[in-house]
Every structure is written in C-alpha cells, then in structure tokens.
Amino acid sequence: MSSKKTTNSVSNSKGLFRGSFALIGYRLGAILVSYFFTWLIARLYGASVVGMFALMNVVVLIGVLLSKSGLDTLFLREISKLKGRDDNVERQKTYSLILGIQLFTGLGVSLLIYSFSDLIALRIFDQSELGPILKYAAFIVLPLTYTTLHAEGMRGSGKLFWYLSFTRVWPYALAALAMLGLYVNEVEDSNWFFFGYFASVVASSVFALWIWLRESQLKMRWSVDLKASSALLRQSFPMLLSSSMFLLMSWTDTFMLGLFEDTTQVGYYHVAVKVSNMVAIVLYGINGISAPKIASSWAAKDTSTLSKVISSAATLSFTLSLPVVFGILFFRSELLAMFGEGMHTASYALIFLSLGQFVNGSCGSVMNILQMTGHQKYGQYILISAGLLNVTLNYLLIPTYGIEGAAVATGVSTAYWNLLSVMVVRWKIGHWSFPFATGINDVVKLIKGRF
C-alpha cells in the first residue's frame, strides 16, 4: 500500500512539473502580449498616459475586488473539490448563486464609481482629465468580475490555458489591435485608446462566458436565495479580505505615487513593475497547477502528495526564477529603454522590485496553500500586517525618494509576507514551502522523469 501511495505521489509531482512548464510557456506568451500592450501605450502616447491608465486600473481593480466579494476564489475551491465527480447539480447551484450575488454587487459598485468619478479624479489624484475616463471605466466592472469568475472555474477544472486566455491574453491582445488600428488611421487622441481598451474588456468577457458555458455544460441562470447567498458570503469573506490585502500589496505603491507624483512618474514606475513581474512568471505558472492539486490532496487527506506538491513548487520556482532576476538586474537599462525615452529613471526602482519578486518566487505557492487548505484566515492576518507595513513605508518613503521609495516599500513588504507565510504553512500544514525542502536528489529525479 505504501509503495503504491509513494508511486502516486511521485506521479502527481511529475504532473506538477509537466503542467507547470507548459503553463509557464503559455504564461510567457501572455506576459509578452501584456508587455507589447504597455510598450504600445508608452511609444504611441507617452509615460503620462501609461500613468493615467495605471491610476484608472487601480480604481477599476478596487471595484472588481468588491464586486467579486471573494466568491471567485471560493468557486475555484469548490470546483476543484468536485473535479472528477459527475455532480453538475451542485456546480450549477453554486454557479447560479454566485452569478446572482455578483450581478447585484457589480452593478452597485459600477454606479458608485460612475457617480463619484470626478470626485476621485480631482480630490484624490488631482487629475481632472481622469474623471471622464473613470465614468466609462465604471461599465467594465461587471464584465471583469464575470471574466474572473469563469477563469477561476476553468482553473479549478484543470483547463489552465483557458484560465490564462480569459484574464491575461484576450483583453490585452484585442486592445493592442485596437491601438494599432488607431495608429494606422492616425488617430492621436488618447481617449480613443481608453475606449478601445474598454471595448476589448467587454468583448473578452462575452467570449469567456461562451467558452465557459460550452466547456462546463452549465447554464447561465441567476439565483436569488438570501439564506444560501449569506452562507456563501460568510465562506468567501476571509478570501475577500485576503484578496483585498493582495490588491493593497500590489497597487498601494501606484495609488500613493498618484497622490504625491505626476502621471509621468507613475508611468515610469508602472513600466518598472511590468518588467519586474517577469520574475513572477514562473510562480504564476506553478500556482495555476498547484492550487487545484493542493485543494484536492488536502480534501483527500493525502499528505504525501501534498508535501510533494508544496516542496516541488518552491524548488522549481526558485530554480527558474534565479536566471530571470539576474537577467533583469544586468540588463535593466536596455529593458527599460525599449519602452521609450526617459524610462531609465526607473532603473533603481526596478532593482528593488525584482529582488522582492525573487523572494516571492523562492517561497513557492504559500498563499495558495493557506487558501486551498482552509487556513485562509491566517493568510488574511499576514496580508493585513503586510498591507499596513506597505502603506506605512510608502507614506514615509515616497515624498522623499519618489519611485525608488515606492519600490523599496513594495519589495520589503513582499519579502515580509512571503517569509512569514512560509513559517505559518510549516506550523499549520506541517510542510516547508521552501526550495529543496525534500532534498536535491528528489528534485533531480523528478525533472529527469519528465525530460
């Protein structure tokens, strides 16, 4: 029996490597599309419009976060648990309830953004031209909410290429095509770029819905059941808080730069963030595979497989992230110069951001582990403390050091929550999410088994 269990565990770990490498490859393609999109904005409209887009994106992402209410992560967990079971009745029930809740929250948040768009633009960012953009941006909150829901459903079903396509490829690819069309037709008004982006988001959401319904065999039915909806929201609330802290960690720097600096500086910083995120490609690919495996092995009480998935993910992420971070550090000037004149301003910011992302990659899928094993409240506490640290450091450093101060704040905060999460995973799950925790020989054997 133990031999069979060991064989299954190794097989699962090999599956993690196979799936991760395939997903990393596709993720690389996806991030290149995203970089091409950012490069086009910088080249055609300049750093100021890049900064305007980043600030608009912060507001929209906050709206989408509230609209999702953590239900997308809950949906991922539930679909992962039901994977392999012929139980479409339960899937449909959960799906219909979430659709109904998010319709209500999405429309409510959109109305708020639309109503207060000028106030946000003037009182918070001191950018009057941002007001009209936010009014139109309010209309993409619900489409983005549903796109994320369907993407997580695909992720939970193991259909990871659709998962990436929904969220990381189609919106940027369509928007890039729209920009190229505007360029060919010599339309220089940047407002048309924003209209093209909004239209791309809506089109992507409709296509994602069609693919999801076809693949899942579910129906798009809204369900209103106050008791059942309340029960779902009670489960998803800790996930909403964790997602809020992730957003706080990811966008506090950009938001606070918008308070203290002009949109050109925000644009420079946004490009540095984009380049530093190349380090996270590996972990992103591994997370896409590991989350469903962690959820299913934890539910089955298969501690051997769980240990293999956790340690293999951290080892693989560290090994593949190392050359990427070295490449960015040594060629940072050349990479930034690709995005246009003046981008070298973000050179030192890129160093600090990349080092923070490397720590993130070296610690493996720690937050996914806590969420998929029912320990999301610990992840919530960690991210709350990290978010407070991030806000404090940004507040103290940005006025004096500008974008370099924002980068230091984000890098330190990222390292803090990852290392603390490693300790909590060890405490609550009993496994180290750290490179080579199972020994280098096991990792070598696994890699050789695949290649």
**218: region left, alpha or beta (phi > 0 left; psi from -120 to 50 alpha):** beta
Q: What is the sign of the dihedral through the CA atoms of 359, 277, 392 and 387?
A: negative
Would you give the distance in Å from CA 51 to the centre of its chain? 20
Do 316 and 20 touch, CB atoms closer than 8 A? yes
| Domain region containing 431 | 2-450
CA dist 374 to 84, 196, 351, 370, 425, Å? 21, 40, 35, 6, 12
Do 92 and 218 touch, CB atoms closer than 8 A? yes
Q: Name residue, tokens 């720690």.
A: 366
Task: Give the pTM.
Answer: 0.76
Confidence at residue 86, expressed as pLDDT on a 0 to 100 scale? 63
Do 413 and 249 touch, CB atoms closer than 8 A? yes
From CA 160, how far away is CA 169, in angstroms rounded?
Answer: 13
Long-range contact pairs involving 22-25 (C-beta distance under 8 Å, separation at least 24) = 23/160, 23/161, 23/164, 23/285, 23/286, 23/288, 23/289, 24/281, 24/282, 24/284, 24/285, 24/286, 24/320, 25/285
Confidence at residue 58, expressed as pLDDT on a 0 to 100 scale? 92
CA atoms within 13 A on the CB side of 382: 25
Confidence at residue 28, expressed as pLDDT on a 0 to 100 scale? 74
Q: CA-based angle 277:282:285, to the nearest 5? A: 110
Token readout for 306 is 């769980």
Q: Name residue, tokens 């946004």.
A: 270
CA atoms within 13 A on the CB side of 354: 25
Give the other-Cβ count within 10 Å of 270's Cβ: 26
From CA 272, how far away is CA 342, in angstroms rounded?
Answer: 12
**434: region left, alpha or beta (phi > 0 left; psi from -120 to 50 alpha):** beta
CA atoms within 13 A on the CB side of 177: 9
CA dist 231 to 43, 72, 73, 228, 438, Å? 49, 15, 15, 5, 39
Token readout for 335 is 């990479």
From CA 99, how far away is CA 220, in angstroms rounded?
Answer: 8
**Domains contained in the chain, number:** 1
Per-residue DSSP letters for 109-166? Answer: HHHHHHHTHHHIIIIIS--TTHHHHHHHHGGGHHHHHHHHHHHHHHHHTT-HHHHHII
Crossing angle of the two packed helices 226-260 and 88-115, in degrees rounded to 10: 40
From CA 328, how far away is CA 330, in angstroms rounded?
Answer: 6
CA dist 250 to 160, 332, 393, Å? 23, 21, 14
Q: Is 298 exposed, middle or buried (0-12, 13-18, 19+ CB in 10 A)?
A: buried
Q: What does the pLDDT profile of the chain (451 residues) look like in tens digits?
A: 444 444 444 444 454 455 555 666 777 788 789 889 999 999 999 999 999 999 999 999 999 999 998 888 888 877 877 665 666 777 888 888 899 999 999 999 999 999 999 999 998 988 888 999 999 999 999 999 999 999 988 888 878 788 888 888 999 999 999 999 999 998 888 899 999 999 999 999 999 999 999 988 888 877 777 787 788 888 777 777 767 766 777 788 898 999 888 889 999 999 999 899 888 777 766 666 676 677 777 766 767 777 777 777 777 778 888 888 999 999 998 989 888 888 888 999 999 999 998 888 787 777 777 777 777 777 778 888 888 899 999 999 999 999 999 999 999 999 998 888 888 888 877 777 766 665 544 444 334 433 2
Confidence at residue 291, expressed as pLDDT on a 0 to 100 scale? 67
Confidence at residue 285, expressed as pLDDT on a 0 to 100 scale? 66
3-class secondary-structure state, position 254: helix
The residues near 200 (Cβ < 8 Å, ≥ 6 apart) are 170, 171, 172, 174, 175, 178
CA atoms within 13 A on the CB side of 185: 10
Closest among 434, 396, 200 to 310, alpha carbons compared: 434
